[in-house]
Amino acid sequence: MGGWSEEREISLRTGGAIFQALKEEGYSVVGIDVDRNVVDYLKKYKINFAFLALHGPFGEDGTVQGLLEMLGIPYTGSGVLASALAMNKIYAKRIFDQQGIPTPKWIVLSSLHLTPDTLHGLKYPVVVKPAGQGSTIGVSIVQERKSLDSAIRKAKRLDKQVLIEEYIRGKEITVGILGRKTLPIIEIIPKSKFYDYRAKYLPGASKHIIPARLERKVAKRSADLALKAFHALGCRAYGRVDMRVDIRNQPWVLEINTIPGMTRTSLLPEAALSLGISFNQLVLKIIQHSLQ
């Protein structure tokens, strides 16, 4: 847990909750706040299984997974390639397009300055994102041309590659996945303009509705697409697929979180709890699915 990405604070909260759950279940647990000496810690504490609570770069992008593979230590969640693909929104969207998975129209930006015709048919509003960040860090919704450059600079501070995609008007939903099944769909209603970092992690900043207010066929279509996207990237064990459902009831896949937040009030535990799966039970099920 921890590390040095922009998501360090949330990672520590996720790791702390998992640490406490495993202690309560009687396991011998060590909490490692990751720094450049992580290999020394793994050897010192003789770790034989790693529960990954590292969000963002170096934790969710295949880096630490590759390290653990080299050391022969099994770990939770997706492997090296799937983690890297899911973390890089550009490569994930290329695969979604190739697999026929509905995802908002998008372009990649490599230069800082844009002219109006650079958007290649995308119409405002658009969403500007750094390619390799999570937790909506560095993301802006741009309503008009004059706000575009500042949004790009904001994203560029966090990643060399910037993704610009069509904004889908409609409902924000998320689909948790545990093993090979989806959990009940959550509809998210942020109190701010969109589901940003503050809305995600500040208590009371967003409202969650379980199950989401969707027609049955739309809910099934959303769950099916979430699983298809999850498997298209080669993800395994558990995760969360963020989506939107437009005003015509068409679901769109935005991105996949291979190490979703795991505090006791996070979305994945909330979805599991709606099925009667406690936080501690969820932690154990994630380990079981990761070992299968």
Picking from 221, 270, 273, the residue whose alpha carbon sits closest to that of residue 244 is 221
pLDDT at position 190: 80
Catalytic residue among 135, 206, 222, 290: 135
Q: How many CA atoms lie within 13 A of 149 on its CB side?
A: 6
Q: How confident is the model at residue 109, as a pLDDT? A: 82
β-sheet bridge partners, residue 253: 243
Task: Write down the catalytic residue from 11, 201, 222, 266.
Answer: 201
Backbone angles phi, psi at 77, to 5 degrees: 85, -155
State whether the Cα torsion 209-215-217-222 is positive or negative. negative
pLDDT for the residue numbered 217: 98
Catalytic residue among 222, 257, 266, 280: 257
- Burial class, 122, CB count within 10 angstroms (exposed 0-12 / middle 13-18 / buried 19+): middle
136: left (phi over 0), alpha (psi -120 to 50) or beta: left
- Respond yes or no: is residue 244 known to be catalytic: no
| pLDDT value for 147 | 86
Structure tokens at 104: 């908002």
Catalytic residue from among 134, 240, 266, 280: 240
CA angle 204, 255, 75 (to 5 degrees): 90
**Per-residue model confidence (pLDDT) at position 214:** 98
3-state secondary structure of 223: helix
Q: Select which of 255, 270, 280, 290 is catalytic.
A: 255
pLDDT given for residue 194 in this prediction: 56
> Residue 57 has what pLDDT?
86
Residue 135 among the catalytic residues: yes
Task: Answer yes or no: 201 catalytic.
Answer: yes
242 is catalytic: yes
For each of the domains in the chain, give its residue range(s) and CATH number, in order of start. Answer: 8-77 (3.40.50.20), 84-102+169-291 (3.30.470.20), 106-166 (3.30.1490.20)
Give per-10-residue mean pLDDT for the chain (292 aa). Answer: 91 96 97 95 96 93 97 98 96 97 91 62 90 77 88 85 93 97 95 55 74 97 98 98 97 97 91 98 98 92
Q: What pLDDT does residue 199 have?
A: 46
Please give the structure tokens belonging to residue 248.
């015509």
